[in-house]
Every structure is written in C-alpha cells, then in structure tokens.
Amino acid sequence: MNNDTSKTTAAAETKKAKPPAQKKAESAAAAPASDMTAAQAANLIVAPYVTEKTFTQIEKENKLAFIVAEKASKKEIMEAIHILYETETTEVNTARTIRGKKAFVRFKSPEGARELATKLGLV
C-alpha cells in the first residue's frame, strides 16, 4: 500500500506542477506578439488604397484597404494599424495583386472605417 500511496502522491505533484506552466503560456499568449515600433509599422503599411469598390466597402462593410509590405502577416498588419492609427481591428484579409499585397481590414467600431478614411483625407 505504501507504493500505491507514493504513486498517487507523485501523480498529484505532477498535476500541481502543470497549472503554473499553463498560466505562463496563457499570459504569454495574452501579451503582444512583438514590440513593434512606429517606424516598423510604417514600413509594413505602405499606403491606403481607395477605388470605387473599396469606397463601397468603407460604407457597407466597415472595411478599409491598404497596400502592405509583401512580407507582412495578418497579425503584424493588425498590430501596425493599431500602432499607427490607434484603432481596433477585428479581422484582416490579404490578397496578392499586380500592384502588390493588399490588406482589407475590418474595424471593431461600427463607423471605424469611415472615421479613419475621413482622418486620412480619403473621403
């Protein structure tokens, strides 16, 4: 019986040891992925992209289009938009075109795209 008790005690100790490791992983996931500077963000977001189609997206879908760096990932684009324009985004869709890589960004606030387009002088 003593061996069984030591096995259950050892199993209980390993169970107790796992939660702190999980907490560290969860806190790391909650923290920003990288410490991007404003200069790095400006290098990722090349310019806003406005056509008749994207103007319709601003009004109807709360999306704004940007030309971005070829190497930019969706998470990096979201972080760069937050740093440069101080707005929250919900999703980013990207497409590679002849003109370069485009990012279609949807904003959290209902009028986020229109407000940012007005701030940038696009509308």
CB atoms within 10 A of CB 41: 18
- Convert the pLDDT of each residue in 44-53 to its tens digit: 999 999 999 9
- Convert the pLDDT of each residue in 5-32 to its tens digit: 555 444 444 444 444 444 434 433 334 4
Output the CATH code of domain 38-120: 3.30.70.330
- CB of 84 closer than 8 Å to CB of 48: no
Tokens of 70: 């070829």
| Per-residue confidence band for 2, with pLDDT thresholds at 50, 70 and 90 | low
Domain boundaries, the chain: 1-31, 38-120
Of all residues in the chain, what percent carry a pLDDT higher than 70? 72
